[in-house]
Structure 1
Amino acid sequence: MTVTRFAPSPTGYIHVGNLRTALMNYLIAKKSGGQFILRLDDTDQERSKQEYADQIMRDLEWLGLHWDRVEKQSLRLDRYREAAEDLKAKGKFYEVFESPTELDLKRKKQLNMGKPPVYDRAGLKLSDVEKEKLRAEGRDGYWRFLLDQERIEWTDGILGPISIDAASVSDPVLIRADGQVLYTFASSVDDIDMGVTFIVRGADHVTNTATQIQIMKAMGGTPPNFAHHSLLTGAKGEELSKRLGTLSLKDLRAQGVEAMALLSLMARLGSSRPVELFTNIDELAEGFDVGTFGAAPTKFDAEDLFPLTRGYVQGLSFDQVKDRVAALGVPADKAEEFWDVAKGNITVLGDLEGWWQLFRDGATPLVADEDREFVAQALAMLPAQPWTTETWGQWTAAVKEATGRKGKGLFMPLRKAMTGRENGPEMADVMPLLAKAPTL
């Protein structure tokens, strides 16, 4: 059975970059009838916040990405200690004491000598006496994983064959001096323990994957299959990472972006297949293929979400929006008619409020100076309410007869006078919904 996972850190809100990872993993599990795990990587106790964890769950529920179970790394600390002791016993963990300044000096020295800035494994040569002396000096030891210096190879689901020489990579630090277990280790333990079989994540994790494959094998586990998607850039190819905070799902939702519009874009963006609007996740999963995605940086423009949102919203039935319409205060006997008239002129559902305000309160006429006399004459000829779908045609015909105006010169000034807008639904449909006649 295919088991995938989405493992956000609850140190902030989910943004579009996180969503790409979550969605790909979800669709792979959904398509195969497998399991999708939500795993909160919350070992950083200082930065992890419950409010962020709660918002992550709300965002996923809004999108319809329902998880099969929730796991929290903060509840598995004993398991990580157990796994660490096992690897220490196998000679795969070793204690080191260098300060960040000392490591930086080593790297600079290696670079000046034309060598790769890889950790020199000086910690391996320390005797027990030397370690005790360092502790007596006030230094705290931390732990690195001893990599086998061989080529690490796998066939990536997006990037194809990958081969990384472990000798070109520093032995990763997996446990800090304060005892905090770092992502690379905790994630490896979890993926093996939880039976994860497929992981999709960003291309910035490729080197992590290489080291994690060795960690998993050292634990006696079988590494899952991996696929690394490209990173998102801005619409002009600029780095997006600094703007991701403004592209949180929470903020996009507040702007009126619809869940299916967002999912439809992210499920195809960066693939060889065109973006199209889907109406439900089952359709999305059925046609999903991680192998169609490319390695090149993927341009993301938040503005692309609004045409998709418009298409989705305008395709909704009255039953799907009746609660939203009722919340505006639209009378029940006018609600469906209001939706039918307004829906073709909105991008997000929030736009309905402006149309109902117009129909309920009337408009402030928009009248050009050269049309003022004409509009005043026309309004004087406006039939008394109630108005019907026939009123517009009858009224404009009478005004045409009286003034000689026709075409755009007739209709546009009257539309602007009645609605205060240059564009909108057919005026024949608008007239019955207008509660008040405009006054100049």
Structure 2
Amino acid sequence: MTTTRFAPSPTGYIHVGNLRTALMNYLIARKAGGTFILRIDDTDPERSKEEYVDAIKQDMEWLGLQWDRIERQSDRLDRYAEAADKLRDMGRFYEAFETPTELDLKRKKQLNMGKPPVYDRAALNLSDAEKEALRAERGNGVWRFKLDHERIEWNDGILGDISIDASSVSDPVLIRGDGQVLYTIASVVDDTEMGVTDVVRGSDHVTNTATQIQIIEALGGTCPRFAHHSLLTGPQGEALSKRLGTLALRDLREQGVQPMALLSLMARLGSSDPVELRSDMAELIDGFDIGRFGAAPTKFDVQDLFPLTAKHLQSLPLTDVAEAVAEAGVPADLAEPFWAMARENITTLADLKGWWALCRDGAEPLIADEDRDFIAEAIALLPEGPFDGDTWGKWTSAVKEATGRKGKGLFMPLRKALTGMERGPEMAALLPLLQVIRAKA
């Protein structure tokens, strides 16, 4: 059975970069009728916060990305300890004591000599007595996985055939000196024991994948299928990493972005298929193909979400937006005609309040000097309310007959006088909703 996972660290809010990873894994699982796991990677006790765990769940639920089960790495520390012991027994795990400053000096020396800045495995030459002395002086060391210096190869679902020389990579640190288990081993143990078959993540994890393949094989596990998606940039190709803090999903939600608009964009962004607004999750699942995505950096512009949001809202019946219409202050008996009028003229649901304010309070008339007599004559011909869908047509016909005006010269001054705007909803739909005709005063 196909099993995928989304494994966020609860150290902050989910942003669009995280969502791309979550959505791809979700769609793969759902398309195959498989299992999607939400795994909270909370092995860092200082940075992990319960409020972020709750926020991750809320954001996923808002988007409709329902997980089949939830796991927490903090509940599985004994499993990682067992894996570490197994690697020690195999001679693939060793303790190293260099300080960050010493490692930095080593890297600089290697670079000056034209060599790759790879850990030199000096710790392997330490005697037991030297290790004891270093522990007494510096505390516990870090634990590194000893890579086999051979080529690590796999067929990537997006990048194609990948081959990395393990000798060009430092032996990865899997456990810190303070005992904290790091992502590299925790993820391997989890993926293996949870039967994860497919892993999609950012291309910045390619080197991690290479080392994890060796760890999986050392522990006797089966490697999942890996795919590494491109990283997002800003609309001008600039690095997006510094702006991700402003692109948290809760911020986009606050700005009125609709879930299906966001999902429709992220399900196609960076692929060879055009971005198309989908009506529901089933369409997204059916149209998803990981093989259609490319390796090139992918431009993301938050402004692209708003036309998609507007188009999505236009497709919704009143029942789907009734709460927002009521919150805008629209009386229940006017909700249906109000939504029919406003839906084509909003970008987000927050815009409803402005349209209801116009209907409720009227607008400051926008009347050119040369139109003042015309508007006065037209308002005098406006019948007494209540108005209906035919009132605008009958009224403008009477005004045309009386004044001789027609076309834009007839309709535009009337719209500006009644709404204070040059464009907007169909006046036949808006006029019956206007509670105050301020141009009449």
TM-score of the aligned structures, taking structure 1 as reference length = 0.97
Letter of the 2:152 counterpart: I
Letter of the 2:7 counterpart: A
Query: Any conservation in 1 of the 2:381–2:399 contact (CA below 8 Å)?
Result: yes
Q: CA deviation at 1:364?
A: 2.0
- 1:263-313 CA-to-partner distances (Å, cap 9, x unmatched) read 111111111111111111111111211011001111111111111111111
Q: How many residues were matched structurally?
A: 440
- 1:356-379 CA-to-partner distances (Å, cap 9, x unmatched) read 221122222222344334333433
Question: What is residue 93 of structure 1 aligned with on the other side?
Answer: 93
Question: What is residue 149 of structure 1 aligned with on the other side?
Answer: 149
Q: CA deviation at 1:67?
A: 0.2
Q: Which moved more, 1:234-243 or 1:78-87?
A: 78-87
Query: Any conservation in 1 of the 2:157–2:228 contact (CA below 8 Å)?
Result: yes
Q: CA deviation at 1:405?
A: 3.1
CA distance in 2, matches of 1:262, 1:376: 48
Letter of the 2:123 counterpart: G
CA distance in 1, matches of 2:243, 2:376: 51
CA distance in 2, matches of 1:422, 1:137: 77
Q: How does 1:30-429 map to 2 (within 5 A)?
A: 30-429=30-429
Letter of the 1:387 counterpart: F
- 1:327-359 CA-to-partner distances (Å, cap 9, x unmatched) read 333233322111112111112222222112211
CA distance in 2, matches of 1:412, 1:181: 69
Where 2:438 maps in the other structure, the secondary structure is coil
Q: Which moved more, 1:327-336 or 1:340-349?
A: 327-336
Q: Which moved more, 1:123-132 or 1:363-372?
A: 363-372
Letter of the 1:422 counterpart: E
- 1:8-40 CA-to-partner distances (Å, cap 9, x unmatched) read 011111111100000000000000010000001
Where 2:406 maps in the other structure, the secondary structure is coil
Q: CA deviation at 1:196?
A: 0.6
Structure 2: any 5+ residue segments left out of the alignment?
Answer: none
Where 1:94 maps in the other structure, the secondary structure is strand
Q: CA deviation at 1:326?
A: 3.0
Q: CA deviation at 1:427?
A: 1.1
- 1:223-259 CA-to-partner distances (Å, cap 9, x unmatched) read 1110000001111111111111111111111111111
Letter of the 1:296 counterpart: A
Letter of the 1:183 counterpart: Y
CA distance in 2, matches of 1:136, 1:54: 41
- 1:120-153 CA-to-partner distances (Å, cap 9, x unmatched) read 0000000001111212323431110000010000
CA distance in 2, matches of 1:50, 1:139: 30
Query: Any conservation in 1 of the 2:329–2:353 contact (CA below 8 Å)?
Result: no
- 1:196-215 CA-to-partner distances (Å, cap 9, x unmatched) read 11000000000000000111
Where 1:429 maps in the other structure, the secondary structure is helix
Where 2:376 maps in the other structure, the secondary structure is helix
CA distance in 2, matches of 1:14, 1:295: 23
RMSD between aligned alpha carbons?
A: 1.4
Q: CA deviation at 1:426?
A: 1.5
Q: Percent identity?
A: 72
CA distance in 2, matches of 1:388, 1:36: 52
Letter of the 2:194 counterpart: M
Question: What is residue 13 of structure 2 aligned with on the other side?
Answer: 13
CA distance in 2, matches of 1:147, 1:244: 34
Question: What is residue 4 of structure 2 aligned with on the other side?
Answer: 4
CA distance in 2, matches of 1:222, 1:420: 67
CA distance in 1, matches of 2:369, 2:259: 45
CA distance in 2, matches of 1:33, 1:125: 51
TM-score of the aligned structures, taking structure 2 as reference length = 0.97
CA distance in 2, matches of 1:107, 1:380: 86
Structure 1: any 5+ residue segments left out of the alignment?
Answer: none
CA distance in 1, matches of 2:23, 2:191: 18
Where 1:137 maps in the other structure, the secondary structure is helix
